[in-house]
Copies of this chain bind each other. A is one copy, B any other.
């Protein structure tokens, strides 16, 4: 049984918390035995904040999980072991190119039944898809990839805590990489109405009062991890305020790097900001033509920073 942090007391404890923690402890132990050099926890997708205990209505942060899942693949390529904490039904590493990712109807259109063998096969099986299947099988069989699913903010926060605790023994070899879109607001579990909010009560409208989610990143860098290299993300829709917000965040919360991006350009340009530097990483026109993903440039840059960090610690 792991101990929960009292800062999470107002967030409903998931039933599977101990199970998730044990899985992660086992995964980290295996990585240590196999002498895997570095491990990263990647968060991905958006959180759901219930407005009723019987979760009918909820507040959601939109995020496809493309960045998180593409990054997870890049970290695996860079020989990191990866714990992938992701929102159910968001993008998943290695299946990003499968036809089902955007619609089940698309998948259905691609499935055919072979007349001779009776097997169901994928009509549209290009090399990207096959490579995805091969990579997934390879990394999984080598115990280098552990996916953990969440839906609600409560699950996200408790699982994040449990996973950080499990990674503690790795010290500075651990990286925490946080592109998930986490709600800034919530209704504490004890204050949630038991039943669906009645429409009549709100015939003239509905007012929802949300409380701010405690800034857990400060808590994470100070207490949940032990010297891990922590990277957070700032996503804004307004470019004019982005850089300043990223710098402020770095000072206040003690993470090592902030990756700043603007909603509309985030797949082509990001700014990596640390105490020492600010670097713009972007795709060229050629890159865009060749469908290069920005994560294939961002992740190697970040693993480089992690290496420098490791050399200063030793």
Could you list which residues of chain A lie within 8 angstroms of chain B, going by C-beta atoms?
48, 51-52, 54-62, 88-89, 91-92, 94-95, 98, 100-101, 103-105, 107-108, 111-114, 118-122, 125, 129-130, 132-134, 136, 147, 149, 181, 183-185, 194-196, 199, 202-212, 235-238, 263-264
| A98, B88: Cβ atoms closer than 8 Å | no
| A207, B206: Cβ atoms closer than 8 Å | no
| B196, A205: Cβ atoms closer than 8 Å | no
- A113 and B92 in contact, given A185-B206, A196-B237 (Cβ under 8 angstroms): no
- B residues less than 8 Å from A108 (CB atoms): 92, 94-95, 98, 132-133, 136
| B122, A111: Cβ atoms closer than 8 Å | yes
- B residues less than 8 Å from A55 (CB atoms): 62
- B residues less than 8 Å from A52 (CB atoms): 237
- Of all chain B residues, which has the CB nearest A91? B104
| B100, A100: Cβ atoms closer than 8 Å | yes
| B101, A113: Cβ atoms closer than 8 Å | no
Which 10 A-B residue pairs are closest in the complex by CB-CB distance?
A: A92-B104, A120-B125, A120-B122, A54-B237, A121-B121, A95-B104, A184-B199, A195-B237, A206-B210, A195-B238
- B residues less than 8 Å from A95 (CB atoms): 104-105, 107-108
- Of all chain B residues, which has the CB nearest A185? B206
* Residue with the highest number of chain B CB atoms closer than 10 Å, among A57, A120, A136: A120
Q: How many copies does the complex hold?
A: 2
Can you give 8 A-B contacts (C-beta < 8 A)? A54-B237, A95-B105, A101-B104, A103-B149, A114-B119, A120-B121, A205-B210, A207-B210
| B195, A205: Cβ atoms closer than 8 Å | no
- Of all chain B residues, which has the CB nearest A88? B103
- Of all chain B residues, which has the CB nearest A84? B105
| Nearest-Cβ distance from residue A188 to partner chain B, whole angstroms | 11
| B147, A133: Cβ atoms closer than 8 Å | no
| A104, B98: Cβ atoms closer than 8 Å | yes
| B54, A58: Cβ atoms closer than 8 Å | no
In the bound complex, CA of A277 to CA of B251 (Å): 67
In the bound complex, CA of A212 to CA of B203 (Å): 6
In the bound complex, CA of A205 to CA of B57 (Å): 19
A119 is contacted by which of B57, B92, B122, B183 (Cβ under 8 Å)? Answer: B122
| Nearest-Cβ distance from residue A120 to partner chain B, whole angstroms | 4
- B residues less than 8 Å from A111 (CB atoms): 122, 133
| Nearest-Cβ distance from residue A194 to partner chain B, whole angstroms | 8
A56 is contacted by which of B61, B98, B194, B207 (Cβ under 8 Å)? Answer: B61
| A212, B195: Cβ atoms closer than 8 Å | no
19 additional A-B pairs beyond A121-B122, A203-B212, beta carbons within 8 Å, are A51-B59, A52-B237, A54-B264, A56-B62, A56-B237, A56-B263, A57-B183, A92-B104, A100-B107, A108-B136, A114-B119, A118-B130, A185-B202, A185-B205, A195-B236, A196-B236, A196-B238, A202-B210, A207-B209
- Of all chain B residues, which has the CB nearest A151? B62
